[in-house]
Structure 1
Amino acid sequence: MTEHEPAVKAAIEGELRLLDPEVRRSPELLGSLLHPEFHEFGASGRRWDKASTVNRLHLTFDTVYNGRHAHRSSLWRRTDDGWQMYFHQGTPFTPEGE
């Protein structure tokens, strides 16, 4: 085993945990995987930090409706009235092999 293998293995395990729906819907589990100084630059150009990421949990899924496929993503915010969807996007796609 090379000296880098444990770090690579930990990074892969962390990435896979971030894809786990249970982790993605839990502020505690998601927060435990993000460094206090975490930041992300989204495709929109917006900068996200740990607090804004945890406060706006990402939900992604694919749908098929009337034969049309779409990748979908939702952002949710916790408010005084509970969790509410803040943003949603659907991007059409053609499945591989079609």
Structure 2
Amino acid sequence: MNHHTAPTAELLALEQALWHADTRYDPAFQQRHFAADFFEFGRSGNIYPRADCIMQSGPPIQANLLNMQLRELAEGLIQLVYDSVVTGTDGRLQYANRSSLWSRQDDVWVLRFHQGTPYQP
């Protein structure tokens, strides 16, 4: 991958911001970075349209994001893959393989798609 065309640090920071309450529940952040056609295949198996993902409040998320890797699929289109380990409300650890598709739109990186697939280590 050409790291001059893919701003690795910026995309990693944006992905991590989705897991932090101060940005995850900030409507301005979400409106700016969720593409109009965004949707998610959740770890639960449910499909979430953009409207369901724009939230103004919620519980803090205790998550470790591991093995983050970027793949440039085309100019201005990046796939970010990683593993998440989330502490559930019951205290149990929930593991998922994650994939996000980010595209460059009007000089802003927007999230087009996200998928979480559960796994057991």
Task: Give the structure-2-normalised TM-score.
Answer: 0.43
* Distance in 1 between residues matched to 2:57 and 2:30, nearest whole Å: 9
Larger Rg: 1
3-state SS of the aligned residue for 1:48?
strand
Correspondent of 1:71 among 64, 87, 106: 87
* Distance in 1 between residues matched to 2:47 and 2:57, nearest whole Å: 15
What residue number does 2:27 align with?
27
Cα gap change, 1:57/1:32 in structure 2, threshold over 3 Å: closer, same or farther?
A: farther
* Distance in 2 between residues matched to 1:27 and 1:90, nearest whole Å: 28
The structure with higher relative contact order (CA 8 Å, sep 6+) is 2
Q: What is the Cα deviation at residue 9 of structure 1? A: 3.2
Does the Cα contact within 8 Å between 2:24 and 2:30 map onto a contact in 1? Answer: yes
Amino acid of the structure 1 residue aligned with 2:62: F
* Distance in 2 between residues matched to 1:2 and 1:24, nearest whole Å: 27
Does the Cα contact within 8 Å between 2:27 and 2:56 map onto a contact in 1? Answer: no
Counting strand residues as a fraction of each chain, which structure ranks higher? 2
What residue number does 1:18 align with?
18
What residue number does 1:3 align with?
4
Q: What is the Cα deviation at residue 21 of structure 1? A: 1.9
Amino acid of the structure 2 residue aligned with 1:61: Q
Counting helix residues as a fraction of each chain, which structure ranks higher? 1
Structure 2, unpaired ranges of 5+: 64-85, 94-121
Q: Percent identity?
A: 17
CA RMSD of aligned residues (A): 2.9
Q: What is the Cα deviation at residue 45 of structure 1? A: 1.5
Does the Cα contact within 8 Å between 1:27 and 1:57 map onto a contact in 2? Answer: no
Structure-to-structure mapping, 1:33-44, within 5 angstroms: 33-44=33-44
